[in-house]
Structure 1
Amino acid sequence: MENPKILIDTTPLLKDLSGVGYVTYQYAKELQKIYPNTLYYYAWFYSNKLRQRALGNYEKAVNLAKKYLPRPYILTHSAKTAIFNYTLFKEKPDIFIQPNYISFPTFFDIPTITFIHDLSHIRYKEYHPKERMEYFEKYLPKSIEKSTKIVTISEFTKQELINLNLCDEEKIEVIYNGIDPKFRPTTQSEFVSVAQKHNLQYQNYFLFVGTLEPRKNLRNLLAAYLQYLKTTNHPTPLVLAGGIGWRSEHFDDLLQKASNSGYVKRLGYVSEEELIALYGGAKAFIFPSFYEGFGLPPLEAMACGTPVIASNSSSIPEVIGDAGLLIDPHDTKQIRQALHQMDEDTVLRKELAVKGLIRAKQFSWESAAQKLSNIIEKNI
């Protein structure tokens, strides 16, 4: 079909970009180059313009709703469904793309491509609020059944869907996430503003990027780092970039203890421009997450020429290949030893930096969008 009308659920773009929101934006940006007649659905309205910024106090309003409304996920899902169906009726798109797990019930037949990033709500139930669990348990199987195609972001997640009997293999396509070309090595002169803002020294800190929540394994990282501080005379500081997530109280005690050491800095949510500089200015990047459907931060770090320490679990080895130092995320001793290795072995750091740059070049959003376009063409 020539110039089809593509409808994309871009609700995740209404808040600060991270995780699914970031992936949604990258796909929407690339798809509009292929399909100029693209429409964006933002939960409470739709538009032919792609947003890049958060919508006012949207996230604050959502958090209030979650706090005071009974069963907020299900109530908001119902409201979004009604508006979504009105959009279908009025705009008559040719295909719908749901980048965020759960497609809406429709009163009209429309081919639907749904992305499933991971199955942490099944594998690690303790990492999710009860309301989110109820929402996924109720709607995800229906969404999978209704979808024309399911896209996973790794072979690992595809295999999990098959092993859990949630989806037939022939219905699933794998498309790896990409890397924005903006992620590239940072020179020392380019690092000056970040260095001044956060009192950091170029190539003299370990970096973690991600939401501060249990799944990211902050508890073991902080425990290993405190052990590291006891076993070195010249410690490299640890920088944590990312907002506070759900159940951060699980590691609050260690976070406080690590902060009191004087060697741990918490930066909170940072802009993409600042993030690129932080990646490029780090001595090494560490990502000890228990579970990921893909694991974009270590790939971004590699694209910035930074050596990576990462977990040997879930999809992470699939993404990193031999371009990083893989550790058991449950073993604090192994994490500590990896920190020492990166600290002391200049040859290893240079070797992994080169391998990482080569590996990262295999992933691009342009390529990912083209693969998605091929799926679109086959299913309209």
Structure 2
Amino acid sequence: MALAHLRFAAMPVVTVDATDAHALALRGWGRYTARLLGALPAAADGLQLNFVSRSTPGPEFVWEQVGLARAARRAGSAVLHAPNCFLPLRRSCPGVVTVHDLAFEAHPEDFGRLTALKFRAVAPRAARSAERIICVSRFTAEDLQRRYGIGPERVRVIPLAPALPRRGRRSAGSRPQDAGPYVLGVGDLRGKKDFACLVRAWRSLRREGLPHRLVLAGLDAGEGPRLRAAAGEEPLELTGYIEDADLDALLADADVLVHPSRYEGFGLVVVEAMARSTPVVAAEATVLPETGGRAALYFPPGDDRVLAERMRAALEDRDTREQLIAAGRERAGSLSWEATAAATVAVYRELV
């Protein structure tokens, strides 16, 4: 009888908050959640996955701390995974939380008052209460442990992979938007991204005859007017948020991606560009050397003179350019959502 009972015992239930995957405009957490959920079923043999989304009226905080915990309890969950940093503090089962970065600690000026208050009130408590913490990079894991005093025994590093849908090949004889070559930056226009450094470096190259436009693709979080003023009469384009197909085209057809950010938790756009054979120049800051490895050129954060030198090398030195493209393809190819999902399921299995 005991053997029969074990044979037909129900599989452990793992409840995952899928809310971010259904956002109208996928960014950051949402893109991570969507790609993870798509890859988890193939890796979760012997586990019953229970994907739930926000159904509680009122502020999202109510769903994150009450509705999500209730959904996990009703499903008889063995594990609850919050793929953002808002794991319910009170729950009926062990919790897994994914921490992407601690930008709200490092750059509080980039966050609204209420948003910063929520992050600072919940994220440290969620991390300290979690049975397992998934960090998307070694840098984020070390940042978390240092800031919150969390021991490494509960922390697992699971990197991301290129997540943006691809059209498969470059367009023949055409470029997105206006005609002509361009340098690309991708990310919200906010202080920590330091696109002002990129504008200065690009302007210095324009004075030396560089024909490229500068395209910055991302929501304007307040830096737009300052960047336009810094560009003067030079051809700067601020696209705002753009759909996946347009971002894919911009990345594939750019002559170089420059990522001057002073703080990132992973820097996914770096490997997105590499996957599309676009050379990358990035700030030698926080996680970016970890993410880009030897497949990018780096410059000291905020140093527009060195950035201009690196940009010129990536744009004009044939050998350097070919080496970056080849190394970038290899780096991007070493990452996959199948591997990310398998490592995530391994974390679940530690707790069931």
Q: Same fold (TM over 0.5)?
A: yes
1:313 counterpart SS class: coil
Give ranges in structure 2 of 5+ residues lacking alignment.
1-8
Alpha-carbon deviation of 1:161? Answer: 1.8
Q: What is the rounded CA distance, in whole Å, between the counterparts of 1:292 and 1:181 in structure 2?
A: 18
The aligned residue for residue 309 of structure 1 is 281
Give ranges in structure 1 of 5+ residues lacking alignment.
47-64, 66-74
Contact 1:6 1:94 in 2 (8 A): yes
Q: Output the TM-score relative to the length of structure 1.
A: 0.83
2:294 counterpart SS class: coil
The aligned residue for residue 39 of structure 1 is 50
Q: Which 4+ runs in 1 deviate beyond 6 A?
A: none
Alpha-carbon deviation of 1:321? Answer: 0.9
Alpha-carbon deviation of 1:187? Answer: 3.0
Q: What is the rounded CA distance, in whole Å, between the counterparts of 1:208 and 1:254 in structure 2?
A: 12
Q: Give per-residue Cα distances to partners, 1:24-53, cap 9 Å, x unaligned.
A: 11111111333484333322259xxxxxxx
Q: What is the rounded CA distance, in whole Å, between the counterparts of 1:113 and 1:79 in structure 2?
A: 17
Q: Output the TM-score relative to the length of structure 2.
A: 0.89
The aligned residue for residue 101 of structure 1 is 85
The aligned residue for residue 187 of structure 2 is 210
1:328 aligns with 2:339: no
Letter of the 2:243 partner, please give it: S
Q: What is the rounded CA distance, in whole Å, between the counterparts of 1:355 and 1:34 in structure 2?
A: 29
2:67 counterpart SS class: helix
1:322 counterpart SS class: helix
- The equivalent position to 2:200 in structure 1, one of 223, 229, 249, is 223
Aligned pairs for 1:152-231 within 5 A = 152-180=135-163, 182-183=165-166, 186-189=169-172, 192=174, 195=175, 198-201=177-180, 204-230=181-207
Change in Cα spacing, 1:227 to 1:124, as seen in structure 2 (3 Å) is same
Alpha-carbon deviation of 1:99? Answer: 0.9
Contact 2:56 2:63 in 1 (8 A): no
Letter of the 2:117 partner, please give it: E
Q: What is the rounded CA distance, in whole Å, between the counterparts of 1:354 and 1:213 in structure 2?
A: 31
The aligned residue for residue 53 of structure 1 is none
Q: What is the rounded CA distance, in whole Å, between the counterparts of 1:319 and 1:136 in structure 2?
A: 25
Alpha-carbon deviation of 1:22? Answer: 0.7
2:237 counterpart SS class: strand
The aligned residue for residue 62 of structure 1 is none
Letter of the 2:74 partner, please give it: K
1:343 aligns with 2:322: no
Letter of the 1:105 partner, please give it: L
1:258 aligns with 2:231: yes
- The equivalent position to 2:209 in structure 1, one of 205, 208, 233, is 233
Q: What is the rounded CA distance, in whole Å, between the counterparts of 1:356 and 1:214 in structure 2?
A: 27
Q: Give per-residue Cα distances to partners, 1:216-264, cap 9 Å, x unaligned.
A: 111211222222222x22421111112222xx24x52332452742x22
The aligned residue for residue 376 of structure 1 is 348
Q: What is the rounded CA distance, in whole Å, between the counterparts of 1:163 and 1:212 in structure 2?
A: 28
Q: Give per-residue Cα distances to partners, 1:341-367, cap 9 Å, x unaligned.
A: 223212211111011111111111110
1:9 aligns with 2:17: yes
Change in Cα spacing, 1:79 to 1:31, as seen in structure 2 (3 Å) is closer
2:15 counterpart SS class: strand
Contact 1:184 1:280 in 2 (8 A): no
Give the % identical residues.
Answer: 24
The aligned residue for residue 49 of structure 1 is none
Q: Give per-residue Cα distances to partners, 1:109-151, cap 9 Å, x unaligned.
A: 2121101111112222222222222212211222112211001
Q: Give per-residue Cα distances to partners, 1:190-224, cap 9 Å, x unaligned.
A: x74xx3x51234xx211111111111111211222
2:295 counterpart SS class: coil
Moved more, 359-368 or 119-128: 119-128
Q: What is the rounded CA distance, in whole Å, between the counterparts of 2:100 and 2:168 in structure 1?
A: 28
Q: Give per-residue Cα distances to partners, 1:283-322, cap 9 Å, x unaligned.
A: 1111010011111001110111111001111011011111
- Please give the root-mean-square deviation of Cα atoms over the aligned residues, in Å: 2.4
Letter of the 1:254 partner, please give it: L
Alpha-carbon deviation of 1:80? Answer: 4.1
The aligned residue for residue 263 of structure 2 is 291
Q: Give per-residue Cα distances to partners, 1:41-88, cap 9 Å, x unaligned.
A: 322259xxxxxxxxxxxxxxxxxx9xxxxxxxxx64135433223323
1:32 counterpart SS class: helix
The aligned residue for residue 330 of structure 2 is 358
Letter of the 1:115 partner, please give it: T
Contact 2:185 2:258 in 1 (8 A): yes
Letter of the 1:132 partner, please give it: T
